[in-house]
Amino acid sequence: MHSFFPVILCGGSGTRLWPLSRALYPKQFVDLGDGHTLFRNTLERINYLSDNAESVILCTESHRFYVSAALLECEMSGRIILEPEPRNTAPAIAAASFFARERGREIGNGDPILLVLPSDHLLQDKEAFADGVLKAGELAERGLIVTFGITPTGPETGFGYIQQGEAVGNGYRVIRFVEKPDAQSARDMLAEGGFSWNSGIFLFRASTYLNELKKFAPELYDSCEAAWRNNEKNGKFIRLGAKDFLTSPSESIDYAVMEKTKLAAVVPLSTEWSDLGSWEALYQVGSKDENRNVCIGDVICKDSADCYLHGTHRLVTAVGLSNIAVIETQDALLVVHRSRVQDVKEIVGHLNKSHRSESKHHPLVYRPWGSYETLAIASRFQVKRIVVNPGAELSLQMHHHRAEHWVVVSGTAEVTNGKSIQMITENQSTYIPLGTMHRLKNPGVIPLVLIEIQSGSYLGEDDIVRFDDIYGRTH
């Protein structure tokens, strides 16, 4: 297997998978029902290719703790490049290329090969994927930019297409890229042959991509080069120079480079694949019962057929339904006909215009020290389940508008409460008065789980004054 830098792109928001996917908790981090997230599946795919590859992940500040938690759970190492704002795939891949070139020089490989992977796609056959990467490696070493084409199983209108030309090594030259077609055009391409679905996966040398980017998108190249030159490193996080990066045009790698370069090649992959861009896509890949229903979670279904039923926090029941998707979460419920699932993004747009928090926030939130989940919220009170990782601690802080009660469920908590420090264990509790400086720490070797009851006139997360934080946060 060729040596490569895995690059994982985490910039997607997955609005068409609302309410499971939110702006601050996108689909790649959500458990979609099989016990694994798409991001973790991507990490495991990399592990299958190479058990010592150092990954580089591109994401925004708001998603960095989800990435960190997944790397920790998979026992993988990686550097996380933080984009000030998403700028589509071409700038993100440029930043990764500058990183890989710098890191490669440190380990004696100044022009490494990058394997670029979306973090939110389903790809079932690891062996077929590994075989494709092996074949593509030879083309990347010859200076080609390789993309992977999925062998079509039907005239799909939701994917882009790649038309292959003359053979080159283990792949083909790319004749052209085709945007998502209408149904007749999709049927015509399949009848003609030589077309594959565009997977959005790439393999190339860092220098090859940067040279082609500089040739075809010089403004984008200059912005990203300056953003990399002005980066700030903080442990495993690398923050790109915000002012420079935000001057970059927002363009996809397909538009900026692949549709213009003469170095494009495609290696076909015969495997089950989906970008899981809608609830219909999840229905298609889901395990179905005798009435062709996909049921996930605690679901009771009677006299219903061809439905997608997904429960996360409570019992979901369905009677006499046909071709309906029902998705239940702790704070929202979606009911939609399967023929209209693409219109879910219009609901998200309406929520945004109405400044509703359900479009952005998810009840489960990750932080560098662990996570918290909102269990109940109403006027003047809120209940959370807080998990603090072994050895981790929250910031030394205070609140102007709320008091807090902490009840330990399991583990041991070291609590700073004003001038006192005390240890509390399972079934014990403590009270933090409004305006009191406090800190929570887990000194043990197992996760600390506690229930937090907040009460006060304002319960927003921005009512935090930090005095000291080992993670460098100021707000």
Q: What is the mean pLDDT of residues 339-344?
A: 92
Question: Which of 226, 243, 274 corresponds to the end of one domain?
Answer: 274
Question: Which of 218, 243, 274 corresponds to the end of one domain?
Answer: 274
In a domain, 473, yes or no: no
Kindly report whether the peptide bond that precedes residue 19 is cis, defined as omega within 30 degrees of 0: yes
In this structure, are 372 and 335 located in the same domain?
no
Q: What is the pLDDT of residues 141-186, one digit of tens each?
A: 999 999 999 988 888 888 899 999 999 998 999 999 998 888 899 9
Residues 311 and 332 sit within 8 Å (Cβ to Cβ):
no
pLDDT band at 2 (very low <50, low <70, confident <90, very high): low
Q: What is the pLDDT of residues 223-251, one digit of tens each?
A: 999 999 999 998 789 999 999 999 999 99
Domain total for the chain?
Answer: 3
Question: Which of 210, 242, 274 corresponds to the end of one domain?
Answer: 274
In this structure, are 309 and 398 located in the same domain?
no
In this structure, are 208 and 125 located in the same domain?
yes
In this structure, are 239 and 119 located in the same domain?
yes
Count Cβ atoms below 10 Å from residue 33 Cβ, excluding itself: 17
In a domain, 362, yes or no: no
In a domain, 145, yes or no: yes
Average pLDDT score, the chain: 90
Enclosing domain of residue 312: 279-350
In a domain, 355, yes or no: no
For the domain that residue 385 is a member of, what is the CATH number? 2.60.120.10
In this structure, are 187 and 254 located in the same domain?
yes
In this structure, are 252 and 144 located in the same domain?
yes
Strands 420-424 and 429-432: unpaired
CA distance 424 to 452: 14
Lowest model confidence (mean pLDDT) among 233-237, 280-284, 413-417: 233-237
Q: What's the angle, vertex CA 377, arms to CA 374 and CA 380, rounded to 5?
A: 130
Q: What is the mean pLDDT of residues 403-414?
A: 96
Q: What is the pLDDT of residue 110?
A: 74
In this structure, are 289 and 232 located in the same domain?
no
Q: What is the pLDDT of residues 436-453, one digit of tens each?
A: 999 999 999 999 999 999
In this structure, are 268 and 289 located in the same domain?
no
Answer positive or negative: Cα dihedral of 70, 71, 76, 82: positive
Q: What is the pLDDT of residue 1?
A: 46
For the domain that residue 94 is a member of, what is the CATH number? 3.90.550.10
Phi-psi region of 391 (alpha: psi -120 to 50; beta: other; left: phi over 0): left
Count Cβ atoms below 10 Å from residue 54 Cβ, excluding itself: 15
CA distance 296 to 310: 5
In this structure, are 212 and 73 located in the same domain?
yes
DSSP 218-271: HHHHHHHHHHHHT-EEETTEEE--HHHHTTS----HIIIIITT-S-EEEEEE-S
**Residue 414 pairs with which residues in a beta bridge?**
423, 441
pLDDT at 201 over 80: yes
In a domain, 300, yes or no: yes
In this structure, are 210 and 318 located in the same domain?
no
In this structure, are 46 and 128 located in the same domain?
yes
**HSE-CB for 40 with a 13 A CA cutoff:** 15
